[in-house]
Amino acid sequence: MNGEATGARPVTGEARWASAYRIGTQLLAAAIVLQFLLAGMGIFGSGQFMFLHAVVNAALIFFGSLIVLACGWRAGAGRANLRLVGAIPALVILQSILLVPYHMGAPAPL
């Protein structure tokens, strides 16, 4: 059935992208909360949680934010919203760069 037969307006492509953007931002926010939870459980609990924090969820947040950014761009979201979502992968990259000395086994600065 098309939208004319039921009296409903047809869903545009932009509306679908907006819906995907809205759902994606909610999932991304949940993934970021999970990231904090996994970090705390990794520090105070099992090291397996730290692996999930550092590898699995970090990749999920990085690639998920890129997908949400693309959906927001297609949906016509405002520049401010796109900048906030675009800052997430940049911060993930910055965090990885700042952890390079730790992974290389560099001595403490003090």
Q: CA–CA separation, 60 vs 68, rounded Å?
A: 12
Q: How confident is the model at residue 103 (pLDDT cuts 50, 70, 90)?
A: confident
pLDDT in tens, 46-99: 888 888 888 888 899 999 999 999 999 999 899 999 999 999 999 999 988 988
Return the domain boundaries, the chain. Answer: 14-96
**Proportion of the chain above pLDDT 90, given as a percent:** 55
Global pTM reads 0.78
Query: Which H or E run contains 31?
Result: helix 13-44
CB–CB of 24/68 below 8 Å?
A: yes
Residue in this structure with the two tokens 């904090």, named with its chain if needed: 36
